[in-house]
Copies of this chain bind each other. A is one copy, B any other.
Amino acid sequence: MTRITFEEMKATIKQAFLNAGMPEGKADICAQIHTESSRDGVYSHGLNRVERFVDYIEKGWVDVNAEPTLDLNLGAMEIYNGNMGPGVLNAIFAMNRATEIAKKNGLGLVSLNNTTHWMRGGAYGWQAAEKGFIGICWTNTESCMPAWGAKSGGIGNNPFIMAVPRKEGHIVLDMAMSQYSYGKLQVTRLKNEKLPFAGGFNQEGNLTDDPGEIENTRRILPMGYWKGSGFAVLLDIISALLSGGLTTAAIDRAGLGSCGSCCQVFIAINPLKINSQEFIEQVLNETIQQLKTSVPANENGEIFYPGEQSLKKRRENLELGIPVDDGIWAKVKELAYTN
């Protein structure tokens, strides 16, 4: 395993995006976000996603020059058309607008229709928290998971993010609706390992922890069985209704790649409009203390707050370099430096 510095990874990704026709400033921000995802251990949506993103640009599924345009302003709520621009840039814009609204009024909601894959959803939770805001956001996607009771795909694996700012490390939940991602299945299979818990159904319709069997049936398991399935449906419908955009069913019909013309919702709340800094710290500290003083299930076990392990991974990867798959790294370098 090779480790790459943040700077080298970012510069290489940026050059690949420039080669694909992205303007300088946009390529810089997108490269930053992809590199940050790898830095935080979310390799699947960082470096490993660069090639596919470039492919989408070439297919015309992402318009590198598009900017979001306002569809509707309702005061605390604003709706934008993403115009099929880069999902990362649209999402940063939308969460930023939500925080600007919330700065004044306490609460801001911005939705996007007609946008594209935002890569790592957690990025926009961290973004809000970094600015001192509570952030909540989600996206819908194409269908890639069977609804509960079905064996054919019908619902999206819609990520849902909640973030709370905290000086010593933000508290960030970033979860998709499946128990495991297809990326996790692949990685586990390649290591000849089993999943920690059943992650889907095999050909016989039984739950299995064998990743290869699930990849074959594509009957990936919603988290919490019927709960994650129902949650995915509501996230999908509400994102479409809040933005006037496409549902999972309509994204499937559009056929513009993963998350092509999807909808996203960004909510920001200014906690200082409601509470003193002292009260906020008390809420965070007593909650983390309650977690940390729980009796661990395993000897010497530790209980983590949401986001804690991302932060640990970030520090480790900044110190040692960001690990890369050699084949993927070679491919991105080729996109950057062979023309």
Contacts and interface: CB of A to CB of B under 8 A. Distances in A.
B306 A233 contact: yes
Interface string A259-296: 00000000001010111000110011011011101111
Give the dominant DSSP class at A's interface. Answer: mixed
Interface in A135-161: 136, 143, 146-155
A76 interface: yes
B295 A152 contact: yes
Interface string A295-335: 11110011111100000000000000000000000000000
Interface in A221-243: 223-225, 227-228, 230-231, 233-238, 240-243
A173 B283 CA distance: 28
Contact of A269 (B242, B286, B297): B242
A249 B149 contact: no
B228 A106 contact: no
Contacts of A164: 234, 237-238, 241
A175 interface: yes
A123 interface: no
How large, as a class, is the contact surface on chain A? 35 or more
A99 interface: no
A180 to B, nearest CB: 10
A127 to B, nearest CB: 16
A275 B76 contact: no
A161 to B, nearest CB: 9
Nearest to A205: B297
A62 interface: no
Nearest to A222: B224
A110 to B, nearest CB: 11
Contacts of A235: 162
B107 A147 contact: no
